[in-house]
Amino acid sequence: MTAASLRSKDLVGIEPLTPDEITLLLDTAESMRAIGERAIKKVPALRGRMVVNLFFEASTRTRFSFETAEKWLSADSLNFAAKGSSVEKGESLLDTARNLQAMSPDLIVIRHGSPGVPHFLARHLKAGVVNAGDGAHEHPTQALLDALTIRQKLGRVEGLNVTIAGDIAHSRVVRSNIWLLTKMGAKVTVCGPPTLLPVHIDRMGVRATTDFDAALDGADVVMMLRMQLERQGKSLFPSVREYFRHYGLDAKRLSRANPKAIVMHPGPMNRGVEIASDIADSDRSVILEQVSNGVAVRMAVLYLLLGGHPWEGES
């Protein structure tokens, strides 16, 4: 049984969603994919609606993906890129919210380095708020596009063994994926060096281990996370070479996984740090499909948050 609509005006994370809502989003995204495969990639679904893309942190993939989704749905979009925090700008976040509200947007897509900023905007704005990544908290559309990709490749999410490896502590992708995958019945293992595994991560309903080989045994999905190189040299990890040796995905390691296992990465990749180039480019890798699915998922999110009913295609 699929939900007919989303309960909230906002998508601040996967955590508040029900499995039915997740299924609705994925099914809608599935139908949206057809639009991208046509010669004329535009439907009038969101004509006259305004979406503001508010990016306080650098992003190429996610911002382009949202913009493409908005264009294909015929929404009017405004792009606002800023750097840093409200404190650095000398304007409180509340003032930012009030200024936005004065422009009467229908939806705000927000990327920010501080966890909780989408929640703050959602509290203070009439417009819907979509979290496009808030610090190390959540990145819900990434988890949705990952799930869509898994569903396409393996036919289901339920019952799969999913291993997510790398910098767990600083990753918003991992948190959204943990919520989504566990809600949908997958078994999730997270793996990383002890300094990059946050305390009590197991209380999110996952198995946590520092042993990468063991984490890969029997995995159906291997999701590698980006190692943020600026953390090298701090006490978190001493060198790239040491990191790859223990936590890099190469062919030998991948052989421990299910022979049909797929390899995912949210990008941008550090080849030779967390993933060997030949694996990234192999037929096991679904990294570029993830990117394509990103647009469909974001179309589904925008469409459903702005009051759309299950997408039946154009009438």
Partner 1 sequence: MSRALLVRGGNVVDPVAGRNGRADVLLKDGLVAEVADRIEAGDAEVFDAARLHVFPGFIDLHTHLREPGREYAETIHTGLRAAAAGGFTAVCAMPNTSPVNDSREVCEFIRLRGEGAASARLYPVGAISKGQKGEQMTAFGELAEAGAVALSDDGTWLADGGLLRAAFEHAGLFGLPIVQHAEDRSLSEGAPMHEGAVSTRLGLSGQPAVAEAAAVARDLLLADLTRGRLHVAHLSTAASLELVRRAKASGLNVTCEVTPHHLLLTDEEVAASAYSTRTKMNPPLREASDLTALATGLADGTIDAIATDHAPHGADEKAVEFDNAPFGVVGLETAVSVVYDRLVARGRLSLERFAALFGAGPAKAFGLPGGTLAPGSPADLTLFDPETRWKVDPTRFVSKGRSTPFAGWELGGAPAATIVAGTIVWQRVEL
Residues found near partner 1 in the complex (CB under 8 A): 12, 15, 85-87, 92-95, 112, 114-117, 119-120, 122-123, 134-138, 172, 175, 198-201, 203-204
Residue 302's nearest CA partner among 101, 117, 49 is: 49
Residue 13 beta carbon to partner 1: minimum distance, rounded to whole angstroms: 10
Closer to partner 1 by CB, 180 or 257: give it.
Answer: 180
* The two structure tokens encoding residue 128: 């819907």
**What angle separates helix 287-305 from helix 61-72, to the nearest 10 degrees?**
50
Residue 12 beta carbon to partner 1: minimum distance, rounded to whole angstroms: 8
Residue 120 beta carbon to partner 1: minimum distance, rounded to whole angstroms: 7
Closer to partner 1 by CB, 6 or 93: give it.
Answer: 93
Closer to partner 1 by CB, 140 or 248: give it.
Answer: 140
Closer to partner 1 by CB, 137 or 187: give it.
Answer: 137
Residue 71 beta carbon to partner 1: minimum distance, rounded to whole angstroms: 30
Closer to partner 1 by CB, 26 or 109: give it.
Answer: 109
Closer to partner 1 by CB, 49 or 112: give it.
Answer: 112
- Give how far the C-alpha of residue 205 lies from the chain's centroid of Cα atoms, to the nearest Å: 19
Residue 240 beta carbon to partner 1: minimum distance, rounded to whole angstroms: 23
Residue 86 beta carbon to partner 1: minimum distance, rounded to whole angstroms: 5
- SS3 of 38-86: the string is CCCCCCCCCCCCEEEEEECCCCCHHHHHHHHHHHHCCCEEEEEECCCCH
Residue 17 beta carbon to partner 1: minimum distance, rounded to whole angstroms: 15
Phi-psi region of 218 (alpha: psi -120 to 50; beta: other; left: phi over 0): left
Rounded CA-CA distance 251/260 in Å is: 13
- Given CA atoms 56, 61, 62, 65 in this order, what sign does their dihedral have? positive
Secondary structure of residue 184 in the 3-state scheme: coil
Closer to partner 1 by CB, 84 or 159: give it.
Answer: 84
* The two structure tokens encoding residue 244: 């790859």
With vertex at residue 281, the alpha carbon angle to CA 279 and CA 286, rounded to the nearest 5 degrees, is 90
Cis-peptide, bond into residue 268, ω within 30° of zero: yes
Closer to partner 1 by CB, 112 or 226: give it.
Answer: 112
Rounded CA-CA distance 161/125 in Å is: 39
Distance between first and last Cα of the chain: 24
Residue 111 beta carbon to partner 1: minimum distance, rounded to whole angstroms: 13
